[in-house]
């Protein structure tokens, strides 16, 4: 049981005295040289009773000054933070932590900076002056965390306002952002400097100052007035910041003033200003009806983001907003999809208006109405019939919208299958491609799907052919009769179609054996992507793809890393003997790319017990430091069986390799062979003089293990 578990158990049984004694022991353990003991002790103190944590504070402070282990430090910081103002004696140690770079991962260091600053913030006012002294630190992360701490301290950090105000012009975005929040959180003491900064000639300073005013927990009327003034600033970034401040200060801003500021900004040319105004209305929905005309005008404004938000806001006005949304569709600049979403948001009350809009002479109106009807949940009565009718619309955009809406309905669109099938012969390739997709969504178990997709495999449009092959793959065994057409598509002029055909064939495994010749030809494609797909597909066909062995092996010479990787993997899927594969795979095990080497090693492992035959090639990978862990794991798997006896001469030859890691692995394997490796003894004896100490030690041990035991009584 760990220290922490013991303490919890004692507390649960009411043994506070015993728990305190255990915690006293944990404080002693904080000084242990054993890092695991220190970690356990720090965690135990962190989760112990508050009185015990206060008593442990001197020990925690000592750890903050000297501890190098990140886990210990983080537990100590948590314990100190939990004490709040009672941890005031730790201020100097926490400042030391922020000033000291303890090394390790950058993320861990930043994490400690943050946690140290949190602890100082929890202490509060006693930490303010020491924190002010840290604002000149070289590391940006430290300065940013210090600024953050002032904001968490709040009004008690008033003395830091003169230090924080200039940071509104800091070149670091992070520090500027933290300064804005902290000055706002400090409250009254920061109001006058912030109001003054709202008139600064630097737009970034004005922007930060007015946004900081919005963070005030008790808004000052002067702050509200300053934000309203800046809402008409000439700089868009200042204006947007002022609108965000007014949004945060909503309860303190008179309705008429807020409406005027948001309305005027809705007409501003800058998108950021428009979006800030839209966000303001989101927080004050009561203003929406009074701004309906401006919002409607935004539906045709440049920039889809603003129009989309305007459509959303209009949609929040209720069913009466439908005419405005539909009216905007007459303008070609309005976002059809965004308006359709807003219409759908209105719910069932808008169904009559949408049903009428489906018969509009304007295609954009019909398209939005169709999309909205398809998105309404629960589905409106008669919606499928209306969407089916839309499939026959003379405008391709309306037909496409109807298809998309039906596709979103899944099997509920089954009644529209005849009309969807008719679109497989539409003039528009986009419609035909979408029809293939929707058929798969609407009728996943329809027995006619295979026929539909088989016909589409020969469509003149590549996108249709590709999607047909993709959906045929999803039919499983029902799509098996598409194997011959798919083989033919391996020579399609479109690369995406050929890729889809290869993927389809791979999904049928050995049943697609007749595709081996065509896939072998595809290995010679000048496109690496197709080479990869052909190799991967052959690997899925298993032993039926063995005739492609030489072509796959030749791919190991490809300049493409991806092609070499695929070839190395495929060699393990052809169910060949290790003797046949090893000469080719040996090259991949020495490939210049670690990706290829690792793929080759995984292939070796697929040979099971026969993997030992590859050992002389595998241990050469140990030359690369990054490969050694994987090589050592594989060699460990061979310990039970030992090396293949046929490889002993090669392993003996590896004893002369330049790299000690290779020599050590060769020694290990030969030692596992025992007396069977006696022919390697002369080479092992020579290694007793090797310049590497570990090699010398292991060579001696191997010699002792390999030498045959002397008969009893023989000296």
Let me know: does 94 contact 57? Beta carbons within 8 Å. Answer: no
Question: What pLDDT score was predicted for residue 577?
Answer: 94
Residue that terminates a domain, selected from 585, 606, 627: 606
Residue 135 covered by a domain: no
Let me know: does 301 contact 271? Beta carbons within 8 Å. Answer: no
The CA distances from residue 540 to 527, 558, 585, in Å, are 20, 21, 18
- What average pLDDT is seen over the chain? 90
Is the domain of 626 the same as that of 585? no
**Is pLDDT above 90 for 707?**
no
Question: What pLDDT score was predicted for residue 25?
Answer: 76
Residue 536 covered by a domain: yes
DSSP 301: S
**Is pLDDT above 50 for 146?**
yes
C-alpha to C-alpha distance for 70 and 504, rounded to whole angstroms: 51
Residue that terminates a domain, selected from 575, 606, 637: 606
Question: What pLDDT score was predicted for residue 110?
Answer: 57
Residue 107 covered by a domain: no
Is the domain of 554 the same as that of 618? no
Is the domain of 561 the same as that of 630? no
Is the domain of 575 the same as that of 623? no
Residue that terminates a domain, selected from 568, 584, 606: 606
Burial (0-12, 13-18, 19+ Cβ within 10 Å), 657: middle
Own/partner pairs, 591-596, CB within 8 angstroms, 24+ separation:
591/556, 591/564, 593/561, 593/564, 593/565, 594/624, 594/626, 594/627, 595/561, 595/565, 596/561, 596/564, 596/565, 596/568
Both tokens of residue 32? 């242990």
Which of 7 and 33 is assigned the larger pLDDT? Answer: 33
User: What range defines the domain where residue 678 resides?
Assistant: 609-708
| Contacting residues for 314 by C-beta, under 8 A, at least 6 apart | 288, 292, 295, 296, 299, 321, 324, 325, 342
Is the domain of 614 the same as that of 701? yes
Question: What pLDDT score was predicted for residue 21?
Answer: 56
Residue 88 covered by a domain: no
C-alpha to C-alpha distance for 704 and 689, rounded to whole angstroms: 16
Is the domain of 588 the same as that of 630? no
Is the domain of 584 the same as that of 658? no
Is the domain of 613 the same as that of 582? no
Region of poorest pLDDT, from 198-202, 432-436, 447-451 = 447-451
Q: Residue 522 is part of a domain; what is its CATH number?
A: 1.25.10.10
Is the domain of 620 the same as that of 601? no
Is the domain of 578 the same as that of 647? no
Residue 437 covered by a domain: no
Is the domain of 652 the same as that of 616? yes
Q: What is the pTM of this model?
A: 0.66
Residue 698 covered by a domain: yes
Closest to 537 (Cα-Cα) out of 476, 487, 599: 487
Residue 130 covered by a domain: no
C-alpha to C-alpha distance for 651 and 668, rounded to whole angstroms: 10
Question: What pLDDT score was predicted for residue 343?
Answer: 95
Question: Residue 538: which H helix or E strand, with range?
Answer: helix 528-540
C-alpha to C-alpha distance for 225 and 555, rounded to whole angstroms: 73
Instruction: Please state the domain count of the chain.
Output: 2
Over the stretch 149-177, which tens digit does the pLDDT of each residue have? 999 999 999 999 999 999 999 999 999 99
C-alpha to C-alpha distance for 607 and 641, rounded to whole angstroms: 14
Question: What pLDDT score was predicted for residue 712?
Answer: 55
Over the stretch 447-501, which tens digit does the pLDDT of each residue have? 899 999 999 999 999 999 999 999 999 888 888 999 999 999 999 999 999 999 9
The CA distances from residue 531 to 488, 518, 561, in Å, are 17, 12, 11
Residue 372 covered by a domain: no
Is the domain of 618 the same as that of 630? yes
Question: What pLDDT score was predicted for residue 11?
Answer: 45
For 503-516, give one letter per residue: b (16+ CB within 10 A) or e. bbbbbbeeebbebb
């Amino acid at each position: 049981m760990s220290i922490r578990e013991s303490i919890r158990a004692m507390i649960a049984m009411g043994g506070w005295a015993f728990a305190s004694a255990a915690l006293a022991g944990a404080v002693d353990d904080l000084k242990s040289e054993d890092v695991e003991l220190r970690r356990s002790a720090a965690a135990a103190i962190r989760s112990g009773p508050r009185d015990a944590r206060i008593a442990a504070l001197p020990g925690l402070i000592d750890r903050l000054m000297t501890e190098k282990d990140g886990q210990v430090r983080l537990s100590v910081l948590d314990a100190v933070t939990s004490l709040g103002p009672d941890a005031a004696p730790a201020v100097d140690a926490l400042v030391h932590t922020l000033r000291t770079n303890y090394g390790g991962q950058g993320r861990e260091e930043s994490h400690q900076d943050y946690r140290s600053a949190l602890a100082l913030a929890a202490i509060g006012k006693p930490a303010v002056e020491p924190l002010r002294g840290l604002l000149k630190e070289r590391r940006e992360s430290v300065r940013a965390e210090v600024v953050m701490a002032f904001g968490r301290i709040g009004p008690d950090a008033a003395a830091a306002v003169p230090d924080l105000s200039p940071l509104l012009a800091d070149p670091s975005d992070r520090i500027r952002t933290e300064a804005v929040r902290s000055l706002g959180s400090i409250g009254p003491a920061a109001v006058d400097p912030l109001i003054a900064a709202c008139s600064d000639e630097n737009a970034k300073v004005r922007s930060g100052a007015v946004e900081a005013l919005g963070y005030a927990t008790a808004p000052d009327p002067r702050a509200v007035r300053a934000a309203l003034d800046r809402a008409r600033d000439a700089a868009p970034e200042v204006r947007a910041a002022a609108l965000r401040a007014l949004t945060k200060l909503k309860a303190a801003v008179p309705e008429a003033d807020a409406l005027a500021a948001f309305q005027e900004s809705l007409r501003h040319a800058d998108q950021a200003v428009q979006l800030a105004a839209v966000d303001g209305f989101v927080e004050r929905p009561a203003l929406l009806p009074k701004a309906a005309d401006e919002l409607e005008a935004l539906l045709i404004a440049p920039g889809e983001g603003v129009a989309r938000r305007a459509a959303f806001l209009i949609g929040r006005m209720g069913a009466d907003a439908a005419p405005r949304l539909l009216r905007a569709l007459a303008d070609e600049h309005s976002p059809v999809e965004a308006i359709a979403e807003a219409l759908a948001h209105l719910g069932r009350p808008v169904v009559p208006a949408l049903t009428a809009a489906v018969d509009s002479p304007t295609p954009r109106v019909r398209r939005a109405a169709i999309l909205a009807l398809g998105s309404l949940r629960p589905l409106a009565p008669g919606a499928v019939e209306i969407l089916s009718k839309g499939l026959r619309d003379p405008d391709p955009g309306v037909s496409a919208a109807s298809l998309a809406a039906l596709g979103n309905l899944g099997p509920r669109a089954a009644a529209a299958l005849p009309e969807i099938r008719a679109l497989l012969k539409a003039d528009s390739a986009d419609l035909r491609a979408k029809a293939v997709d929707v058929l798969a969504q609407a009728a996943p178990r329809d027995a006619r799907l295979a026929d539909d997709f088989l016909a589409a495999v020969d469509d003149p449009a590549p996108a249709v052919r590709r999607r047909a092959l993709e959906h045929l793959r999803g039919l499983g065994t029902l799509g098996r009769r598409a194997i011959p057409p798919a083989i033919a598509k391996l020579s399609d002029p479109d690369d995406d179609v050929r890729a889809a055909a290869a993927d389809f064939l791979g999904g049928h495994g050995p049943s697609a054996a007749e595709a081996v010749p065509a896939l072998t030809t595809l290995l010679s494609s000048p496109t690496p992507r197709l080479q990869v797909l052909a190799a991967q597909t052959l690997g899925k066909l298993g032993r039926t793809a063995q005739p492609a062995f030489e072509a796959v092996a030749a791919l190991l010479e490809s300049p493409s890393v991806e092609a070499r990787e695929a070839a190395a993997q495929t060699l393990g899927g052809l169910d060949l003997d290790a003797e046949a594969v090893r000469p080719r795979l040996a090259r991949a095990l020495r490939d210049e790319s670690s990706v290829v080497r690792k793929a080759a090693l995984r292939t070796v492992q697929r040979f099971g017990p026969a993997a030992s035959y590859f050992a002389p090639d595998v241990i050469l990978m140990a030359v690369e430091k990054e490969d050694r862990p994987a090589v050592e794991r594989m060699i460990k798997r061979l310990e039970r069986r030992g090396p293949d006896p046929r490889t002993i001469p090669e392993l003996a030859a590896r004893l002369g390799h330049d790299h000690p890691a290779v020599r050590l692995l060769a020694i290990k394997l030969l030692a596992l062979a025992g007396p069977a490796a006696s022919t390697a003894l002369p080479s092992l004896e020579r290694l007793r003089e090797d310049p590497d100490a570990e090699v010398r030690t292991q060579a001696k041990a191997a010699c002792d293990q390999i030498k045959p035991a002397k008969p009893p009584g023989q000296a």
